């Protein structure tokens, strides 16, 4: 007779064989008398899809209890779909670090050697503000700034090509 795994409450203390006591703060399964505790998945900060899903969970006041607007789920879904829709298959760009902004948008950041790149993404209006700065020169020499209409595939093409170019320069 097959046994079905039993879900246990989060605060249950189990007595396992050989005098081992298991206290769990996570849901646990018991199968055939053995205890299996789930292993938390290690967070990858460069997983674009995972990070965007995580940003959906932020509530108003996420920054300090007062500041920090909740991000639009529709806006996050748009960015998630656009990112992979417009990312050229042949283009292997380094994923960005993604951060929420206090005003409810998203900031993407890359570092390639002495080059810092920031893309401020307005997820409501589908616009972006691109900044590329040479941190070595400490001057405006070689810096770039450009507004992007992220509804236009040509703008995504330009953006991914620039990231790819900086990535190649680093190698």
Q: What's the pLDDT tens digit per position in 14-61? A: 333 333 333 333 343 444 444 444 444 555 667 888 899 999 999 999
The answer to whether residue 132 scores a pLDDT higher than 50 is yes
Q: How many angstroms separate the CA atoms of 132 and 143, rounded?
A: 5
User: Residues 22, 37: contact at Cβ < 8 Å?
Assistant: yes
For the cut 80, the answer to whether the pLDDT of residue 141 exceeds it is no
Rounded to whole angstroms, the Cα distance separating 70 from 111 reads 27
Q: Give backbone dihedrals phi and psi of 12, rounded to 5 degrees, phi first.
A: -80, 140
pLDDT of 79 > 70? The answer is yes
131 pLDDT more than 90: yes
Is it the case that residue 86 has pLDDT exceeding 50?
A: yes
Q: Are 128 and 120 in contact (CB under 8 A)?
A: yes
The residue ranges of every structural domain in the chain are 6-36, 48-170
Cα–Cα distance between 34 and 36 in angstroms, integer? Answer: 7
- Rounded CA separation 76/82 (Å): 10
């Amino acid at each position: 007779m097959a046994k079905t795994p039993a879900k246990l409450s989060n605060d249950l203390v189990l007595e396992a064989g050989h005098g081992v006591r298991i206290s769990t703060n996570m849901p646990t399964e018991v199968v055939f008398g053995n205890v299996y505790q789930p292993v938390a998945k290690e967070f990858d900060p460069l997983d674009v899809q995972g990070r965007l899903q995580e940003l959906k969970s932020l509530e108003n006041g996420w920054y300090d209890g007062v500041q920090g607007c909740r991000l639009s789920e529709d806006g996050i879904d748009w960015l998630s779909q656009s990112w992979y829709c417009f990312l050229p298959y042949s283009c292997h760009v380094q994923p960005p670090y993604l951060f929420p902004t206090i005003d409810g948008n998203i900031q993407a950041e890359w570092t390639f050697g002495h080059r810092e790149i920031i893309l401020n993404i307005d997820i409501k209006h589908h616009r972006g503000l691109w900044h590329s700065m040479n941190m070595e020169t400490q001057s405006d020499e070689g810096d770039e700034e450009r507004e992007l209409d992220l509804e236009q595939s040509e703008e995504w093409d330009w953006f991914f090509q620039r990231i790819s170019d900086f990535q190649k320069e680093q190698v």
